[in-house]
Amino acid sequence: KGVQKAFNRLPHMVKSAAGSVESTVDEEYKQMETYFNEVEASIAKLLENAKKFKESSISKPVLCKIVGLLEHQASFASVIKDVFQPLPSDEGMAVEIDEKKRLDACDMATKYIGKVNELKSSLENQNTFIEENVISVLAQVLTIMKPIKEKMKKRSHKLVDYDRHRLSYQKMKSNSTSSPVDERKLAKQQQLLDESKSEYDQYNNVLKTDLPVFFQLREELMKPILESIFCFQKNFFDAACSYL
């Protein structure tokens, strides 16, 4: 049945694409459809970029260099700490050193190593944050959009049915005679036209009601995602500045 409907719609779809037949256009819905497609493309792109960011984790070149730098800093601080450890004194050799300065230097080196390791750990754990606060939420938004997308596709099919029955009725009416046969054919085509218009109007009106609701919800869903991305970047750089 579905295949037969597709074949029935195909001639009209080809003619409509070529601009050789008149097509029904609802400008209000058309604007909503365009905006919906733009939103879907933007969310899909953001999801793709978030996944790429997640995949460019510690094993990737850029972050690998950052982690390598942090490890070098920790190693350097460890050397400084060793330098200020108490020195063994041979018999007869006096070793003079300010004990307070030595202890302060060791303490600062120890704290520095701890802070560097904290920053390194924070960087290594970034995937969890991105996955939970960005990727999973974006995927949920796209999941919410799927039923709407399917309904829009159904509406498109109903529009094709309505237009082809409408054009067939107009053509049949203009060529019709007063014969009983023509009257029956015209009545049957009128019935098909009425049914197709009713189905098209149903999908069209539902979408014109649902799409504005989705657009409002989309703003509420996207706001925390963008805030999460901003907070992640801000917190990371704040941590880097405070630690280093």
Question: Has residue 5 been placed in a domain?
Answer: no
Residue 84 — very low, low, confident or very high, per pLDDT cuts 50/70/90? Answer: low
Residue 94 — very low, low, confident or very high, per pLDDT cuts 50/70/90? Answer: very low
Predicted pLDDT at 74: 63
Residue 205 — very low, low, confident or very high, per pLDDT cuts 50/70/90? Answer: very high
Residue 181 — very low, low, confident or very high, per pLDDT cuts 50/70/90? Answer: confident
Average the pLDDT over 178-194 and give the result.
Answer: 87
Q: Residue 134 belongs to what domain range? A: 29-243
Question: Has residue 20 been placed in a domain?
Answer: no
Domains contained in the chain, number: 1
Per this entry, what is the length of the chain? Answer: 244
Question: Has residue 22 been placed in a domain?
Answer: no
Question: Has residue 58 been placed in a domain?
Answer: yes
- Angle formed by the axes of helices 180-243 and 136-175, to 10°? 160
Question: Has residue 18 been placed in a domain?
Answer: no
Question: Has residue 104 been placed in a domain?
Answer: yes
Residue 93 — very low, low, confident or very high, per pLDDT cuts 50/70/90? Answer: very low
- At residue 4, does pLDDT exceed 90? no
pTM, 2 dp: 0.65
**Which of 51 and 3 is assigned the larger pLDDT?**
51
Q: How far apart are the first and last CA of the chain?
A: 69
**Which of 182 and 31 is assigned the larger pLDDT?**
31
Question: Has residue 13 been placed in a domain?
Answer: no
Question: Has residue 98 been placed in a domain?
Answer: yes
CATH (domain of 179): 1.20.1270
Dihedral, 237, 239, 241, 244 alpha carbons, nearest 10: -130
